């Protein structure tokens, strides 16, 4: 059952509350107040999510997990099954790919996120990750925070621009709350969600992020997520090695992006959810049994690598039977990096709920350690802990196409602010590397392929906001191919247009178009009125537009053909109307004024 705000509040009370707000609080001040509310609620959601995951993990480890990790064979599969049933039977909506859903809501749904998104991802990811799903809690909590912002703005009847800003505030608050990283929360919103940085947006985003971080400090303490001590400061002579790490991170990011996309496609090809659960649970259970570091978010592995306890990653693994030599460890960790995307794809594809934030940090840390250890075997004297952190920043920059987020997040996660130059060199190198192969991040590539992605490019952003339904014209007189020239002249005498679509009577499919200029030289010759038919006089249009075509593609078609008017049909080629370039320009100017007004 769907609840509306009027179901929760008395309609009269609700109306009076809105009237009081409008008369006593200015719009500018209320936006700041709303951003504080969004940040606070997002922080509580982040603390609740983290606490729920740790509670479930602690209960399972106390009750079932022993020194022999046979429990790992079935625990993740149980979590996937429970989460899948919860999503299908309780939520009854797709809540996967949380950040992609936010981008879609901003671009295509007028910044509206469903009310259930304020809690459904939180519950689903708690179960999935608590039972050992190899994904992260960050994307679900970002979707939760964004949904909180969207629904609070909707509750107070805010306009679309403010709803978009509140989605950003919710995302910034979620990142600030779960990582205790306020700057990263702000930068993530600007880079990944691609909101424009203006004087009217930066203050609410900062308020939400700082509020959420402060509340997280109250509940979880002021310590950083990972303990790190700077023993080896940045040195110029290490720049070539950092660039090597950056290039490697860019290539691993490419593997991560394309591999995840491919594996998700395999799971989408399975029609029945039972088959997805079976394949995902079996694959994940086997991988976690062989490679215990793939269990859960993997943050304990990152902590061990930072603390110089790399051999502990072999604990509980069959590879430990081969000894603890450095080559066994390196081969093992390379396999962990290789199979991490299989574990993450199996978790989400099988029906679990989680994101790629934590997997990208995990893969980055292991990649950084592998590169550092190999360079040290060559006698380069590399500080491995620094490279572990730099690898995390590099993978995040490559997978998310967000170098600033990678830099600030890792610095805030560890308190390693002295590492800025190290993180910058690796992040930029990784970002440049992957740009040669992938123009969009893993989050945005699905929408970009459909032309549904809102970006910082103002022209493209405005075109994305335009919809075919808003520009299509249906007032043109439709002709039949059997009509004579005489009948056509009568139609022309009553028409204000010089363009006429020709449509089949029975199928309603577009057959062609007739231009007034094409018949002007014969329309005043009565002796020809019965000699020619519309079917003989019509011509083919320069191009035909599909009603699902993104507006950017529509404009490309206009530019390629040089036409000013083009017909629109549906998937069955049924005629729907015409689109004119002038109508698009007028709508473009209208949206641009609204979109850019600060």
d(C-alpha 33, C-alpha 152), whole Å: 11
Residue 36 is assigned to a structural domain of this protein = yes
Q: Give the residue ranges of DSSP H helices in 380-508.
A: 384-400, 403-414, 420-435, 445-450, 458-465, 468-471, 485-493
In a domain, 448, yes or no: yes
Q: What is the pLDDT of residue 59?
A: 83
CATH of the domain at 584: 3.10.580.10
Torsion angle defined by CA atoms of residues 30, 31, 36 and 37, in that order, rounded to the nearest 10 degrees: 70
Structure tokens at 209: 């992020």
Query: What residues are paired with 479 via a beta bridge?
Result: 502
Please give the C-alpha separations between residue 336 and each of 123, 260, 343, 363, 394, in angstroms, as whole numbers: 28, 15, 10, 8, 18
- Provide the token pair at 460: 């493209």
Say if 185 falls within a structural domain: yes
The count of other CB atoms within 10 Å of the CB of residue 55 is 12
Identify whether the C-beta of residue 423 lies closer than 8 Å to the C-beta of residue 409: no
- Is 0.95 surpassed by the pTM of this model? no
Both 452 and 466 in one domain: the answer is no
Q: Rounded CA gap, 277 and 76, in Å?
A: 11
Shared-domain flag, residues 439 and 470:
no
Where does a domain end: 436, 457, 478?
457
Residue 26's CATH number: 1.10.3080.10
Domain boundary among 164, 185, 220: 220
98 vs 16: CA distance, rounded Å:
35
Q: Is there a single domain that holds both residue 255 and residue 206?
A: no
Long-range contacts of residues 56-60, Cβ cutoff 8 Å, at least 24 apart: 56/126, 56/127, 56/130, 56/131, 57/130, 57/132, 57/296, 60/130, 60/131, 60/132
SS3 state of residue 485: helix
- Whether residues 161 and 280 share a domain: the answer is no
Does 88 share its domain with 186?
A: yes
Q: Tell me the two tokens of residue 176.
A: 């600030």
Q: Do both 356 and 477 map to the same domain? A: no
User: What is the distance, to the nearest Å, from the Cα of residue 171 to the centroid of all Cα atoms in its chain?
Assistant: 12
Asked if residue 431 and residue 514 are part of one domain, the reply reads no
Range of the domain at 286: 236-457
Phi, psi of 567 (to 5 degrees): -75, 155
3-state DSSP call for residue 46?
helix
Give the C-alpha distances (Å, rounded to integers) separating 289 from 23, 204, 267, 418, 501: 62, 46, 21, 38, 65
Domain identity same for 145 and 274: no
Contact partners, residue 297, CB within 8 Å, separation at least 6: 53, 129, 135, 136, 137, 358, 362
Same domain, 66 and 191: yes
Same-domain pairing of 275 and 326: yes
Q: What is the DSSP letter of 476?
A: S
Residue 228 lies in a domain: no
Structure tokens at 310: 């790399």
Q: The dihedral of CA 443, 416, 210, 358: what is its sign?
A: positive
Specify if 479 maps to a domain: yes
Contact call for residues 514 and 460 (beta carbons, < 8 A): no
Same domain, 446 and 476: no
227 assigned to some structural domain = no
- Rounded Cα distance between 569 and 175, Å, is 44
Decide if 226 is inside a domain: no
Question: How many whole angstroms separate alpha carbon 250 and alpha carbon 393?
Answer: 11
Q: Which of 442, 437, 253 is nearest to 348 (CA)?
A: 442
Q: One digit per residue, pLDDT tens: the chain, 598 residues?
A: 455 555 555 677 777 777 777 777 888 888 899 999 999 999 999 999 998 988 988 887 776 655 446 677 788 888 899 998 998 888 888 777 767 777 777 765 566 788 888 888 889 899 999 888 888 888 889 899 999 998 898 888 887 778 888 898 999 999 999 988 888 888 888 887 766 666 677 889 999 999 999 999 998 887 777 776 767 777 888 899 999 999 999 999 999 999 988 898 888 888 888 888 999 889 998 898 888 888 888 888 888 888 888 888 877 777 777 777 888 889 999 999 999 999 999 998 888 888 888 899 999 999 999 999 999 999 888 888 889 999 999 999 999 888 888 898 888 887 767 788 889 999 999 999 999 988 777 766 655 555 444 444 444 555 555 566 677 788 788 888 888 888 888 888 877 777 888 888 888 888 888 888 777 778 778 877 788 888 888 888 888 888 777 777 777 787 788 787 888 888 888 888 888 876 666 655 555 444 444 4
CA distance 419 to 143: 30
Q: Which long-range contacts (CB under 8 A, 24 or more apart) does 239-245 make?
A: 239/425, 241/375, 241/380, 241/382, 242/390, 242/422, 242/425, 242/426, 242/429, 243/425, 243/426, 243/429, 244/371, 244/375, 245/367, 245/368, 245/371, 245/372, 245/387, 245/390, 245/391, 245/394, 245/426, 245/429
Cβ burial 253-262 (10 Å sphere, 16+ → b, else e): bbebbebbee
Kindly state whether residues 387 and 527 are assigned to the same domain: no
Assign 533 to helix, strand or coil: strand
**Which of 432, 457, 482 is the last residue in one of the domains?**
457
Q: Is residue 271 part of a domain?
A: yes
- Tokens standing for residue 252: 């691993």
When divided into structural domains, the chain yields a total of 3
Say how many CA atoms lie within 13 Å of 339 toward its Cβ.
19
């Amino acid at each position: 059952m769907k609840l509306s705000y009027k179901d929760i509040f008395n309609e009269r009370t609700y109306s009076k509350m809105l009237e009081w707000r409008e008369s006593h609080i200015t719009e500018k001040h209320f936006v700041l107040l709303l951003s504080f509310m969004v940040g606070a609620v997002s922080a509580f959601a982040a603390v609740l999510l983290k606490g729920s995951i740790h509670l479930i993990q602690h209960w399972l480890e106390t009750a079932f997990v022993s020194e022999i990790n046979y429990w790992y064979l079935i625990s993740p599969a149980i979590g996937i099954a429970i989460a899948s049933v919860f999503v299908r039977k309780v939520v009854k909506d797709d809540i996967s790919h949380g950040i992609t859903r936010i981008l879609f809501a901003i671009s295509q749904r007028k910044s509206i996120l469903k009310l259930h998104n304020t809690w459904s991802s939180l519950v689903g990811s708690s179960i999935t990750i608590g039972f050992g799903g190899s994904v992260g809690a960050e994307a679900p909590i970002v979707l939760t925070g964004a949904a909180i912002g969207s629904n609070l703005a909707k509750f107070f009847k805010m306009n679309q621009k403010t709803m978009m800003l509140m989605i950003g505030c919710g995302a910034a608050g979620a990142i600030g709350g779960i990582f205790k990283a306020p700057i990263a929360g702000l930068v993530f919103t600007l880079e990944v969600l691609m909101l424009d940085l203006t004087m009217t947006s930066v203050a609410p985003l900062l308020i939400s992020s700082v509020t959420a971080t402060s509340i997280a400090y109250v509940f979880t303490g002021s310590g950083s997520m990972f303990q790190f001590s700077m023993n080896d400061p940045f040195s110029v002579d290490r720049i070539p090695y950092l660039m090597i790490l950056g290039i490697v991170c860019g290539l691993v990011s490419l593997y991560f992006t394309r591999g995840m996309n491919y594996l998700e496609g395999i799971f989408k090809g399975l029609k029945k959810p039972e088959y997805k659960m079976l394949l995902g649970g079996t694959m994940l259970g086997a991988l976690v049994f062989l490679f215990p570091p793939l269990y859960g978010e993997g943050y304990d592995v990152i902590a061990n690598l930072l603390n110089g306890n790399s051999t502990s990653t072999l604990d509980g693994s069959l590879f430990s039977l081969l000894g603890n030599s450095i080559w066994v460890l390196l081969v093992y960790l390379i396999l962990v990096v290789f199979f991490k995307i299989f574990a993450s794809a199996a978790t989400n594809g099988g029906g679990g709920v989680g994101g790629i934030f934590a997997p990208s940090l995990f893969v980055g840390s292991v990649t950084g350690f592998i590169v550092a250890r190999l360079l040290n075997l060559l006698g380069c004297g590399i500080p491995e802990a620094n490279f572990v952190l730099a690898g995390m920043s590099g993978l995040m920059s490559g997978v998310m196409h967000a170098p600033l987020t990678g830099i600030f997040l890792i610095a805030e996660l560890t308190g390693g602010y002295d590492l800025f130059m190290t993180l910058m060199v690796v992040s930029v190198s990784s970002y440049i590397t992957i740009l040669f192969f992938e123009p969009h991040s893993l989050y945005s590539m699905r929408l970009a392929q459909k032309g549904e992605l809102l970006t910082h490019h103002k022209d493209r952003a405005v075109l994305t906001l335009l919809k075919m339904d808003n520009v299509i014209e249906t007032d043109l007189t439709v002709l039949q191919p059997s009509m004579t020239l005489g009948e056509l002249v009568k139609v022309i005498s009553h028409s204000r247009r010089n363009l006429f679509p020709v449509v089949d009577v029975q199928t309603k499919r577009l057959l062609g178009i007739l231009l007034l200029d094409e018949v002007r030289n014969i329309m005043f010759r009565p002796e020809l009125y019965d000699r020619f038919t519309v079917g003989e006089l019509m011509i083919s249009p320069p191009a035909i537009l599909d009603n699902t075509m993104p507006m950017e593609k529509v404009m490309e078609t206009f530019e390629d053909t040089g036409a000013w008017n083009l017909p629109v049909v549906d998937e069955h080629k049924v005629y729907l109307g015409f689109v004119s370039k002038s109508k698009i320009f007028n709508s473009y100017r209208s949206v641009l004024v609204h979109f850019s007004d600060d």
